[in-house]
Structure 1
Amino acid sequence: MTDSIFLDFGDMERLTGTKVKRLQIEHLSKIKILFQLDRNGAPLVLKESLYSLSKLHHQPKRKQQSIIYSSLNA
């Protein structure tokens, strides 16, 4: 058995909080997760897109030093 590259129905239900396709689509659009529709109209989300989103949101932000402060230390 191989793992799918897409979220399965249970994962999609946990992510969106609903079983209804229309509401899943609305929720995914609202939280700005990219998806495609399959031929039945159900949203398909790549697992990799969620991994890249989590990496993007968990990177520590660096404080920017002011130009004046950095020129004083030089």
Structure 2
Amino acid sequence: MGAETLLFSFRYVHVWELSMSDTFLSKEEVAELTGRKYKRLQIEQLRKMGIPFWLNAVGAPIIARATIEGSREKVELPKPKWVPNVLKG
């Protein structure tokens, strides 16, 4: 039972890592994008470049891959709701 549990856990982590790399840029990609090695300098450069990011628990910038590559899905804007002329002001 112990070996099966370890094998299952390894497969779970492996699949999670693959899906995370598809979702976010790697540390190496962030360094290449910003031209900076250190987290503090990467954050400064991302702000200058206007690229949205989050900070993870250790203070490293996390960038969604879709931010850089663009969305592959066509997003439809919501249709404006009808408002009577009286309320339009």
Q: TM-score, normalised by structure 2?
A: 0.55
Q: Which of the pair has more CA radius of gyration?
A: 2
- Alignment match, 2:30: 12
| Gap runs ≥5 in structure 2 | 1-14, 72-89
The answer on 1:27 being equivalent to 2:45 is yes
- Pairs within 5 Å for 1:37-52: 37-52=55-70
- Alignment match, 2:77: none
Size of the aligned set, in residue pairs, is 53
How far off its partner does 1:47 sit? 0.4
| Gap runs ≥5 in structure 1 | 54-74
Q: Deviation above 6 Å: which 4+ runs of structure 1?
A: none
What's the Cα RMSD here? 1.5
